[in-house]
Structure 1
Amino acid sequence: MQPVSKIQPSSSNSTIYRILFAISLGHLLNDSMQAVVPAIFPILEKSMSLSYTQIGFIAFALNMTSSVMQPVFGVYSDRKPSPFLLPFGMASSLLGMCGLAFSPNFFFVLLSVLFIGLGSAVFHPEGSKVAYLASGAKRGLSQAIYQVGGNFGNSLAPIFTALVFVPFGQKGAAMFTVLAGIGIILLTIVSRWYRDKIKSNALKTKNKTTQSSDKLKIDSKIKFAIILLIFITFARSWYSAGIGNYYQFYLIKEYGLTIKSTQLYIFVFMISGVIGTFFGGPLADRFGKRNIILLSLLGSFPLTVALPHVPLNWVIPLFICIGFISSSSFSVIVVYAQELVPGRVGLVSGLIVGLAFGMGALGAVALGALADSFSLKFIMNFCSFLPLLGVVAFLLPNDKKIRKA
């Protein structure tokens, strides 16, 4: 395998933690904007009398915008790094929050979430590059720090539902414009560091000496590995879409819980995923990236199969284990892909992370349609078998082969 090479981390092996934590906080704020959308679903379902299919289309509009546009911005930023796209993306999310708070109907909601999706698409490729440049010799840990911010932001969706949207309704979304404003200020500061970094003599030299590598073809084995990563991302994203978008309705229907009480269960699942994301990076550095990717799906499979059939008091213990195990490979897959194609960090990061959103979008629509046609229990049982598809990780090159390449 012969990977291309273009942009590289700093020649120094020191990890710049202040930038990593800053971009992680920016990631948290960005993904908090996205988390508002599923958080408001129970409110919109009642106030606008939405079907599960319409809810799926709202999730589709949000995530597909991000999915399609992330690789586009990734390619652009690989060719022309654009640090100030970071605060621009947050400004787009701010507009989306304003629209969501005052949308009078389903179609205005769709338009508003398009702005939020665009903001996410702009942020993620550049955010991944900042984390890459600040990583030094600790790429696994650095990517985990960056990704844990985003996962934590997503995990706040049930908290937003319980504390903001249940008491304040749809207009509670206006409160999140404050977070977006803070994000714009923070990411402007990070963008200045990023701008100075790409202007440094060392980075200029590396870019000039490796520009011709754009013309190199990616080895067929690398292409096959990327396809496998995409397939694995599909399995995990569809499962997450099923839990994140519809399990709260399943708890209401099957266990008789209220909207507010269901949010604890979703939060436990998501916060366990945050913890799993953080520990996945260091564990992959020690035990191998392919091994952690394999374990994250096959290790969670027996638990996901059991989940739809257990008594209510078993749901939280299972969610803790499923969330931790299944999310342990989230940052690992990104690092694995970056090492396969290190010359195209923005493209690869946008493809893998964007694809996760896109697959989740398709999953939300498909699962919503299945729920309307069959039942919520049907889609929970369907989703429970998706982690089994992770068996294809056996076909990925191990870490030794990647290092040799």
Structure 2
Amino acid sequence: MKVVDGVPTVSNTHKGIHFQILGVVCTAHFINDILQSLLLAIYPVLKGTFHLSFAQMGWLTLIHQMTTSLLQPLVGIYTDKHPKQYAMAFGLAITIIGIYVLSTATSYGLLIIAAVLMAMGSSILHPIAAHASSLASGKRQGLAHSVFQVGGNIGTAIGPLLAAAIIVSHGQFSLIWFGLIAVLIIPLLLKAGSWYKETLLLNTAKTPDINKVSGLPKRSVQIGLFILVLMIFSKFFYISSFTSYYTFYLMAKFQIPVALSQVYLFAFLFAVAIGILCGGPLGDKIGRKNLICLSILGAGPFTLMLPYASLFWTGILSVIIGFTISCAFPTIIAFAQELIPNKTGAVLGVMYGLAFGMGGVSAALLGELADHCGIIYVYSLCSFLPILGLFALRLPNLKKSTI
């Protein structure tokens, strides 16, 4: 492999997998999502400091996630036509500024500003880094999305542990150290950004029709996209109940301390990361439609048992649920790419945007519901969401793609 300044050149983009590029974007996603997860992970700290209600925390999550949801598709569409070398580094830099504002915030208004800045940074980084990982993986699209997403999900899983170990003990201002550490990845992102821009421009100039699908009728494509959106709704609405309120559920039902509840949250999020890592290759092997059906529906029996489980079995079931339900997401993304060829950036932006948007809306709604009906009732209601996986049986059957 020919290397220039530590980055593979575009000459062999389609001859194999560029592990260096995958490593850089995966690491960047890991760091970005650690920073993003800290906002949710320190909710117990913020709740005590600013006397926040569940509804206020839910609205803070909604603002953060909806900002990401709205911006990501726009970034994906724009960078499909105008790839920017410095975009990934610029996105991470904005997130770091948001972390600084969060670490020094003295009011609910400043918390909102911090959430918006962090969301803006993530919105720029996510679709471009995901597209770069797709380009770097050649035809192994399931692998590409699994590797890329697992970096972010491991970061999301580690966030609560870091919050419990450092922020709970040393206070809100200790967040700033995480931002300073994130600065170290920016030079690597600049190099990866150069490779991404050159590769995308070369592909556009020489092989504009490289992505082929099975030639489905327009209505079948529309139905397929609708079902994929429904699967994203089911998955992320349920997972949002964990990322935003699982610690409060455990503390309310089992009277455990904050630090221990964060360990349970880490176990769930780590299972999510492993599920995503396994989901892409499994989808490549057994078929995307089969994997989506098994993943969403397969979580159903365990989600229905969770509200009635003891603390021990709650921990076990949450790990099983996290792994099972998360296997679907990289396959959903790859399926959407096959339905809409030659618009990779736009598809990634829209699908990731929808994922964040669903998470934000659900956090706000569940927060309001928790204030009125109690946090334990929320988990009883959400346990039925995986039943929506039945609709995945109606996904169109795709021929093997040449992506």
- Alignment TM-score > 0.5, same fold: yes
Q: 2:119 aligns with which of 117, 120, 138?
A: 117
Match of 2:163 among 161, 164, 178: 161
Q: Take 2:230 and 2:396, find their aligned partners in 1: how far apart are those partners?
A: 15
Q: TM-score, normalised on structure 1? A: 0.92
CA contact (8 A) 1:29 1:153 kept: yes
User: Which amino acid in 2 is paired with 1:356?
Assistant: A
SS at match of 1:342: coil
Match of 2:324 in 1: 325
Question: Contact 2:13–2:135 (CA<8 Å) still a contact in 1?
Answer: no
Shift of 1:203: 4.3
| Pairs within 5 Å for 1:2-401 | 12-200=14-202, 203-207=204-208, 219-400=218-399
CA distance in 2: counterparts of 1:45 and 1:37, whole angstroms:
12
Q: Tell whether the 8 Å contact from 2:302 to 2:317 is kept in structure 1 after alignment.
A: yes
* Structure 2 Cα separation of the partners of residues 70 and 264 of structure 1: 31
1:103-145: per-residue Cα shift (whole Å, max 9, x none)?
Answer: 1011110011100000111111111110111111211112211
Q: Is the 8 A contact 1:30 1:183 kept in 2?
A: no
Distance in structure 2 (CA, Å) of the matches to 1:57 and 1:188: 34
Specify the code of the residue in structure 1 equivalent to 2:124: V
Instruction: Please tell me whether the aligned partners of residues 139 and 402 of structure 2 are also in contact (alpha carbons under 8 angstroms).
Output: no
% identical equivalent positions: 33
Cα distance in 1 for residues equivalent to 2:299 and 2:181: 34
In the TM superposition, residue 83 of structure 1 has moved relative to its aligned partner by 2.8
Maintained 8 Å contact 1:83/1:194: yes
Kept in 2, the 8 Å contact 1:15–1:136? The answer is yes
Which residue identity is paired with 2:230? F
> Is the 2:35–2:159 Cα contact (8 Å) retained in structure 1?
no
Which secondary structure state, in structure 1, belongs to the residue aligned with residue 138 of structure 2? coil
How much has 1:62 moved relative to structure 2?
1.1
Counterpart of 1:6?
A: none
CA distance in 2, matches of 1:10, 1:289: 28
217-226 vs 360-369, greater mean Cα deviation:
217-226
The TM-score, its normalising length taken from structure 2, stands at: 0.93
- How far off its partner does 1:160 sit? 2.2
8 Å CA contact 2:13–2:136 kept in 1: the answer is no
Aligned 8 A contact 2:137 2:144 in 1: yes
Are the equivalent residues in 2 in contact too, given 1:10–1:136 (CA < 8 A)? Answer: no
CA–CA distance in 1 between the matches of 2:64 and 2:359?
Answer: 10
Output the amino acid matched with 2:387. L
**What 5-or-longer segments of structure 1 have no aligned partner?**
1-8
Give deviations 1:291-313, integer Å, cap 9, x for gaps: 11111111011101111111111
Tell me the distance in 1 between the aligned counterparts of 2:125 and 2:221: 26
Q: Deviations over 1:8-34 (max 9, x none)?
A: x97633111111121111111111111
